Amino acid sequence: WREDIDTGVVVLRGFALSQADVLAQAVHAIAAQAPFRQMHTPSGLHMSVALTGCGEAGWVSDAHGYRYARRDPDTGLPWPAMPDTLRNFAAEAAATAGFRNFVPDACLINRYAIGARMSLHQDKNERDFSQPIVSVSLGLPAVFQFGGLARADKAQRIPLAHGDVVVWGGPARMRFHGVLPVKPGVHPQWGEFRINLTFRKAL
């Protein structure tokens, strides 16, 4: 159930299954305080993915650009605190993949409706690229695109299902990645949605 996809990328198939209810409860509690919203890119386009988050900072996008912010721009309030259960879960996944002492300070939660996608990009708003990112997939399956260090590099396709966890770090940290449009379906716990949590050391 542990697949080393490439240097610095470990897929832990089904690692989150035993925690599915705890994770769902946490996502619903966070979304009740900081509702999912579709951000706009700096060029004014609507992102198809809706997002929220918890922790000391959340990722925001607006006319000024992309960045981490300590307050939710929609409510003016600090983002909900990261539950210990989530922080500990992410640290355990990172350790299983070989990254000791991972202490995330932000968890971004992406919600994909059917047809939503994320185009190829790099995650570079975090301050410390030596820290890995832990990603948890829930709900409908999706195909993840995993490219190289240049946008034009050919991307591998990695299918991700409910409960799969991927840890990205080291030389993989700056690789381009994206998510193909989510196909129609109904998940017993999440209905017509895919949820992805990414745990990061942002600040």
- 82, 94, 118, 140: residue in contact with ligand MD3 (rule CB under 6 A): 118
| Closest approach of Fe ion to the CB of residue 18, in Å | 26
Residue showing the smallest CB distance to Fe ion in the complex? 123
In the complex, what is the shortest distance from the CB of residue 2 to Fe ion, in angstroms, rounded to a whole number?
A: 22
Q: Is 87 in the site for ligand MD3 (CB under 6 A)?
A: no
To Fe ion, the closest distance from the beta carbon of 32 in angstroms equals 25
Picked from ligand MD3, Fe ion, none, the partner binding residue 131 (CB below 5 to 8 A depending on kind) is: none
User: Which residues ranging from 157 to 186 are in contact with ligand MD3 (CB under 6 A)?
Assistant: 166, 168, 172-173, 175, 177, 179
> Does position 52 bind ligand MD3 by CB under 6 A?
no
Which residue from 103, 108, 109, 107 is spatially nearest to 91, judged by alpha carbons?
103
Instruction: Rule CB under 6 A: say whether 193 interacts with ligand MD3.
Output: no
CA–CA distance, 91 with 63 (Å, rounded to integer): 34
φ/ψ (deg, to 5) at 53: 180, 175
User: Smallest distance, Å, CB 20 to ligand MD3?
Assistant: 17
DSSP the chain: -EEEEETTEEEETTTTGGGHHHHHHHHHHHHHHS--EEEE-TTSPEEEEEEEEEES-EEEEETTEEEEESB-TTTSSBPPPPPHHHHHHHHHHHHHTT-TT---SEEEEEEEETT--EEEE----SS-TTS-EEEEEEES-EEEEE--SSTTSPPEEEEE-TT-EEEE-GGGTT--EEEPPPPS--BTTTBSEEEEEEEE---
Site size for ligand MD3, by CB under 6 A?
A: 15
**Span interacting with Fe ion, options 68-76, 122-130, 137-145, 186-194, rule CB under 5 A:** 122-130
Place of tokens 């196909």: 183
Which one of ligand MD3, Fe ion, none is in contact with 52 (Cβ closer than 5 to 8 A by kind)?
A: none
Instruction: Enumerate residues 94-113 that contact ligand MD3 by CB under 6 A.
Output: 108, 110
| Residue with the two structure tokens 């409510």 | 75
Binder of Fe ion out of 57, 59, 61, 123 (CB under 5 A)? 123
Residue 82 contacts which entry, Fe ion, ligand MD3, none (Cβ below 5-8 A, type-dependent): none
- 105 binds Fe ion per the rule CB under 5 A: no
Binding residues vs Fe ion (CB under 5 A): 123
